[in-house]
Structure 1
Amino acid sequence: MSLDIFWFLPTSGDTRYLGTSDFGREPTSEYLRQIAITSENLGYDGLLIPTGSSCLDPWVVAASLIPVTQRIKLLVALRTSLGGPAPSARQAATLDQALHGRLLLNVVPGGDAAELAADGVQLSHDERYAAADEYLQIWKRLLSGETVDFDGKYLSVKQSRNYHAPVQKPWPPLYFGGSSEAAHNLAARHVDAYLTWGEPPAAVARKIADVRARAAQHNRTVRFGLRVHVIVRETEDEAWQDAHRLISHITDEDIARAQQNYAKMDSVGQQRMAALHGGQRNKLEVAPNLWAGVGLVRGGAGTSLVGDPQTVAARLQEYADLGIDTFVLSGYPHLEEAIRFAELVFPLLGKTAVTTRGQAQTGGAFDRRVAQE
């Protein structure tokens, strides 16, 4: 199976340690460009640009990467709860043109209800997905070149039209992640690729089967992806030591505070992440090499694959065997870990990393002669 490997752009900041540390990195334009250029040069297929009140605006960040990237695809959040489908259709077409067909869109109807309320969205969990269904109906028709009249429960447009088509026809591919029944229904009706956070393989298999069956009811097929962190080192011991080091600055009070905040959210996916560890440090390996330590204090994707290159590659293959063809990965800090993962794991996945693997290297002026001899 040919796998797509994406990396993550930390638009809310980066760090070597979760929790309070002296090693935080601001998400400056220069730093984000550095990660994007490095990821493209290493051979990653795409970059996820996240969304949220603590993140830089994903559309502006994506636009800032146009002049410094040529090949890598950008997976940008499409917030169906914020703004209307007609303006976002124009934005998508414009950005896809500027990227010469490298735009992917990550449909985000929900998130943190309190954060959405701060942005003026007062809809309940299921209402957000019902509104997203109307939004995507209009959005797709606009990008298909139709003039749209639509009068729904949540959205209404009259003689709406998009005048500039995207490069990708009929629209840039739609990605999406959500664990509730409402989310699975939306995925079945509208999206091209369903993303799940890193749960144990059996749980992921059940989600894939459910979304696949619901899509079949609409005579559709859906691709599948996995969003997970990675901690890969040359040996198993090194990997686990660095996993524990990542959360070594977190106090029990930090964990309790974070888990209380996440418990208030109406996200089913967030509830599933929290249930994996229950806020307890001694219950973090939730499946072989699947470690839930990140989720102690980080919302959203909270698990990591931990191990040596061969072990992590084998775990990724287990998910691929379930039907996963896209992996959206990240690691702390994101610049260094993008390099490490590509060098150590890409060759085991059949991907070509841009390295001088197997050649003699000293960093000196006569390396080529040494390699030849």
Structure 2
Amino acid sequence: MSLTVYSTCPQSKDVPAADYLDAVAATARWSEEAGCAGMLVYTDNGIADPWLVAQTAIAATEHLAPLVAVQPVYMHPYTAASMVSSLAYLHGRAVHLNMLAGGFRHDLLALGDTTEHDDRYARTVEYTQILTALLRGETVTRQGRWHTVENLKLAPALPPELMPEVLISGSSPAGRAAAAEIGATPIRYPEPLGTASDDTASGGGVRMGIIARDDADEAWRVAHERFPADRKGQVAHAMAMRVSDSHWHHELTAAAGKTTPRADLDAEPEPYWLGPFENYQSFCPYLVGSHDRVAAEVARYLERGTEVFVLDIPPAPEDLGHAGEVFARAGAAVRA
């Protein structure tokens, strides 16, 4: 059984500027100590540049790989390839890539980008093919729909052993097709397993948060304390829904309310929870409950061939420790 876990880096908009470097470094160290392969670094118009944040994470750790979100609208594919090879040259470290096709609609419009949903995936495919060919050391000539390059070669060259893993959103048919075309791992925002609309596709990865404790009531107490109901957030979520063309955003909204309520006082509730998503506090579902109950749910994903888990931002190192306990128990259950 192959399993890769990424954490997620805090965003600069959520941390005072004077504290942000320390927050990035601390989360990177927690992630490495917990056995994570890497740490996702977000990008959008309102937060610090992910490549500079990635360098901070590299400097604070020994082998953790930043998983840098790459928005094709922001930079030429040569520039992105140069970032990867330059960080490898300076630090001898790998950088993994989370290829984006979309983003917040107002961010794209502010940049003059009105490209439709499926065309954005086609653009990301072309972009990634140029980027990865450069990283493989090829001299690239291509007359594409979005980029034209001629006899383009990357320097400094990237050592083959530091070639990045590539991830891309795979919640939509266009995303899954793009993943297959570029050889990337498709990452889904999963619906509750077993529902009528549940995507039963095997393999790939999922993006979710985990709040687990020895006692289920304690886990749910932490969850509601961390993500309280917020009317302002609910309004923001509704407004975002009205303008979003994101496939996963609409799927998760439709999935709200599909979880099974607690049957009696002695039974744990279903662990799948969309509270943070519905209150505009996070953009992924959560699994909440006792270690054993959450592990049983994670085991169901593993049995379907899920190989990558991208966890939400950890507020403290113990959260990654509890998630690690969940993955250990889930793995043991699948191997049994």
Instruction: State the TM bucket, normalised to the shorter chain.
Output: 0.7 to 0.9
Q: Which residue of 2 aligns with 1:109?
A: 101
Cα 1:114–1:334 change in 2 (3 A) is farther
Q: Give, in whole Å, the separation in 1 of the partners of 2:37 and 2:77.
A: 28
Q: Which residue of 1 aligns with 2:86?
A: 94
Q: What's the CA shift for 1:5?
A: 2.2
Q: Tell whether 2:271 aligns with 1:292.
A: no
Q: Pairwise mapping of residues 116-195 of structure 1 onto structure 2 (< 5 A)? A: 116-168=108-160, 171-195=163-187
2:201 corresponds, among 182, 190, 208, to: 208
Q: Give, as a single letter, the amino acid of the residue that structure 2 aligns with 1:36.
A: A
CA RMSD in angstroms comes to 2.6
Q: Which residue of 2 aligns with 1:259?
A: 238
2:51 corresponds, among 59, 70, 94, to: 59
Q: Tell whether 2:9 aligns with 1:9.
A: yes
Q: Give, in whole Å, the separation in 2 of the partners of 1:58 and 1:225.
A: 22
Q: Give, in whole Å, the separation in 2 of the partners of 1:152 and 1:139.
A: 13
Secondary structure at the counterpart of residue 285 of structure 1 = coil
1:271 corresponds, among 233, 237, 250, to: 250
Q: What's the CA shift for 1:192?
A: 2.9
241-250 or 47-56: bigger deviation: 241-250
Secondary structure at the counterpart of residue 231 of structure 1 = strand
2:41 corresponds, among 32, 37, 49, to: 49
Cα 1:190–1:207 change in 2 (3 A) is farther
Q: What's the CA shift for 1:140?
A: 2.4
Q: Which residue of 1 aligns with 2:267?
A: none
Q: Give, in whole Å, the separation in 1 of the partners of 2:183 and 2:108.
A: 22
Secondary structure at the counterpart of residue 208 of structure 1 = coil
Q: What's the CA shift for 1:69?
A: 0.6
Q: Which residue of 1 aligns with 2:207?
A: 227
Q: Tell whether 2:225 aligns with 1:245.
A: yes
Q: Give, in whole Å, the separation in 2 of the partners of 1:292 and 1:54.
A: 24
Q: Which residue of 1 aligns with 2:266?
A: none
Cα 1:286–1:116 change in 2 (3 A) is farther
Q: What's the CA shift for 1:126?
A: 2.1
Q: Give, as a single letter, the amino acid of the residue that structure 2 aligns with 1:254.
A: G
Q: Please tell me whether the aligned partners of residues 296 and 330 of structure 2 are also in contact (alpha carbons under 8 angstroms).
A: no
Q: Please tell me whether the aligned partners of residues 78 and 108 of structure 1 are also in contact (alpha carbons under 8 angstroms).
A: yes
Q: Give, in whole Å, the separation in 2 of the partners of 1:300 and 1:333.
A: 13
Q: Tell whether 2:23 aligns with 1:31.
A: yes
Q: Give, in whole Å, the separation in 2 of the partners of 1:286 and 1:162.
A: 53
226-235 or 150-159: bigger deviation: 150-159
Q: Please tell me whether the aligned partners of residues 93 and 166 of structure 1 are also in contact (alpha carbons under 8 angstroms).
A: yes
Q: Give, as a single letter, the amino acid of the residue that structure 2 aligns with 1:56.
A: A
Q: Please tell me whether the aligned partners of residues 7 and 39 of structure 2 are also in contact (alpha carbons under 8 angstroms).
A: yes
- The percent of aligned pairs where both chains have the same amino acid is 28
Q: Please tell me whether the aligned partners of residues 7 and 328 of structure 1 are also in contact (alpha carbons under 8 angstroms).
A: yes
Q: Give, in whole Å, the separation in 2 of the partners of 1:106 and 1:310.
A: 31
Q: What's the CA shift for 1:346?
A: 5.2
Secondary structure at the counterpart of residue 252 of structure 2 = helix
Q: What's the CA shift for 1:33?
A: 0.6
Q: Give, as a single letter, the amino acid of the residue that structure 2 aligns with 1:345.
A: V
Q: What's the CA shift for 1:137?
A: 2.3
Q: Which residue of 2 aligns with 1:348?
A: 329
Q: TM-score, normalised by structure 2?
A: 0.86
Q: Give, in whole Å, the separation in 2 of the partners of 1:121 and 1:156.
A: 18
Unaligned runs of 5+ in 1: 15-23, 210-222, 278-282, 352-373
Q: Give, as a single letter, the amino acid of the residue that structure 1 aligns with 2:95.
A: L
Q: What's the CA shift for 1:299?
A: 7.2
Q: What's the CA shift for 1:332?
A: 5.6
Q: Give, in whole Å, the separation in 2 of the partners of 1:269 and 1:299.
A: 16
2:301 corresponds, among 301, 319, 325, to: 319
Which structure 1 residue ranges, 4+ long, deviate > 4 Å from structure 2? 24-27, 202-205
Q: What's the CA shift for 1:25?
A: 6.4
Q: Give, in whole Å, the separation in 2 of the partners of 1:336 and 1:290.
A: 21
Superimposed CA distance per residue, residues 116-144 of structure 1 (whole angstroms, 9 cap, x where no aligned partner): 12234232222211211221222222222
Cα 1:250–1:38 change in 2 (3 A) is same
Q: Give, in whole Å, the separation in 1 of the partners of 2:174 and 2:27.
A: 35
Cα 1:176–1:300 change in 2 (3 A) is farther
Cα 1:72–1:255 change in 2 (3 A) is same
1:301 corresponds, among 267, 272, 283, to: 283
Q: Which residue of 2 aligns with 1:19?
A: none
Cα 1:65–1:345 change in 2 (3 A) is same
Q: Please tell me whether the aligned partners of residues 198 and 304 of structure 1 are also in contact (alpha carbons under 8 angstroms).
A: no
Q: Please tell me whether the aligned partners of residues 233 and 280 of structure 2 are also in contact (alpha carbons under 8 angstroms).
A: no
Q: Give, as a single letter, the amino acid of the residue that structure 2 aligns with 1:10.
A: P
Q: Give, in whole Å, the separation in 1 of the partners of 2:281 and 2:141.
A: 38
Q: Give, as a single letter, the amino acid of the residue that structure 2 aligns with 1:301.
A: F
